[in-house]
Chain A
Amino acid sequence: MKKYRCSVCGYIYDPENGDPDNGVEPGTDFEDLPDDWSCPICGASKDQFEPAE
């Protein structure tokens, strides 16, 4: 499962951890996040994320 990095603040979305604070279960692929999901740190929208190396 691929990690994604927020281009605004540098937060890494790790599918293994999900984003439980905002109702995203561990094991959720980035692609499967709802369209209105936003960066839990800075609020950047999903399209501002890039695949992390």
Chain B
Amino acid sequence: MQVYEIKKDIYWVGAVDWLVRDFHGYSTYRGSTYNAYLMLGEKNVLFDTVKHNLCSDLVHRIRTVIDPEKIDYIVVNHVEMDHTGSLPAIVEMVKPEKIICSKMGHKNLLAHFHKPDWPYHIIENNETIPVGNRSIQFMETRMLHWPDSMFSYIPEEKLLISQDGFGQHLGTSERFDDEVDLSELMYQAKKYYANILYLYSPQVRKLLQHVADIGLEVDMIAPDHGVIWRTHVDRILKAYQDWSNHRAANKALVVYDTMWHSTEMMAKAIADGIESTGTSMQLLDLSVNHRSDVMTEVLDAKGVCMGCPTLNNGLLPRMAGFLMYMKGLRPARKLGAAFGSFGWSGEAVKHMNKAMEDMKFDLIHDGIKIKYVPTHDDLKVCRDLGVLMGQKVQEAVKEQQ
């Protein structure tokens, strides 16, 4: 099997998952990769493993480089199963001298695999371990995106092995950022941020600041998913700056679900109003747009109009599910407005307003409720809301510059 030498004596030995399309509720249309790295030296070090079902790919690739028993250390940068699923089998095969992890990594490995006898070596934050003529510096990155998460930095190579940070669910035969389409790559990196890291934006900002403060020199970022950054390192770092600082584009979304097309008519009128102001707009029906794709657009939108009719005094389940999902990802500094049709009680707008208030959205309107089917005049009111949203978005975006 193909292995890739990413730096002298450092190999990519991971696995490409061409089949995965649903990653715990995140749509992965392009599949993904689980990256593992093997560094040869006085001590041979394996960084992370792969998902359980792809263990044989990992073993095959390691064997292409060295006998697995010659691995001395296994570094666990992140305990989530897509990177540790193969760990029990690999530990059995390799019999490592050390399994290197953080304090929380140790706790979480025990809680996953129940193996108190493994040769854990718990490192302190910022501890450096020499491995022959190179060294590994460990940086805890708690909650990016699990408590156990950490980075491994090889100063002699200016290489940052960043586990899920800077990752993308992009399954390819190429291993580097300059070998794939850049707009596709940046889209997948954005989708990853919006659906995995968004809620930890304050921690991302802190980490970027820390990295700048200590003057960490990085010419390659090797994440645990997708391709390795070597040509566009500055670009992905700048994107993380923007996303974690909630920088928005002159852009508003109309996200809705509909029962008998009344809420859809309202959505289209609002969309028309937004468009008329020149603000970029996307009309996103939840019946055809996956929640994780909608979140990707939420990341850099300034305004979000949410539409749903009332069903049994509540929301349609797709909207209820989307609001729950979005709330967990903690979008910040958005402008919001709700709308929806109803028959006799009409609670949907109230529920959407409450959800947006919980997310600290700035509501620009009390919301529009229309009984059964909108009239021409009702749609004019909706269009006016769209115009207001477009104008407010432009003002807010101007202020952030």
Contact = CB atoms under 8 A, between A and B. Distances in A.
Contacts, number: 15
Contacts of B200: 8
Contacts of A8: 143, 200, 202-203
A21 to B, nearest CB: 9
B257 interface: no
B104 interface: yes
A15 B203 CA distance: 26
Contacts of B147: 9, 41-42
A13 B202 CA distance: 21
A30 to B, nearest CB: 20
A51 interface: no
A15 to B, nearest CB: 22
B80 interface: no
B98 interface: no
B48 interface: no
A41 to B, nearest CB: 5
B interface residue count range (under 10 / 10 to 19 / 20 to 34 / 35 or more): under 10
A27 B209 CA distance: 37
A43 interface: yes
Interface in A1-30: 8-9
A7 B177 CA distance: 35
Interface string A20-53: 0000000000000000000001110000000000
A38 B203 CA distance: 15
B230 interface: no
A9 B200 CA distance: 9
A41 B149 CA distance: 11
B17 interface: no
A43 to B, nearest CB: 5
A1 B202 CA distance: 30
Q: Which of B140, B142, B200, B203 has the most CB of A within 10 A?
A: B142
B105 to A, nearest CB: 13
A8 B202 CA distance: 9
Interface of B: 104, 140, 142-143, 147, 200, 202-203
Ranked 9 nearest A-B pairs via Cβ: A42-B143, A43-B142, A42-B142, A41-B147, A42-B147, A8-B143, A9-B143, A9-B147, A8-B203
15 contacts: A8-B143, A8-B200, A8-B202, A8-B203, A9-B143, A9-B147, A41-B104, A41-B142, A41-B147, A42-B142, A42-B143, A42-B147, A43-B140, A43-B142, A43-B143
Given A42-B147, A43-B143, 13 more contacts: A8-B143, A8-B200, A8-B202, A8-B203, A9-B143, A9-B147, A41-B104, A41-B142, A41-B147, A42-B142, A42-B143, A43-B140, A43-B142
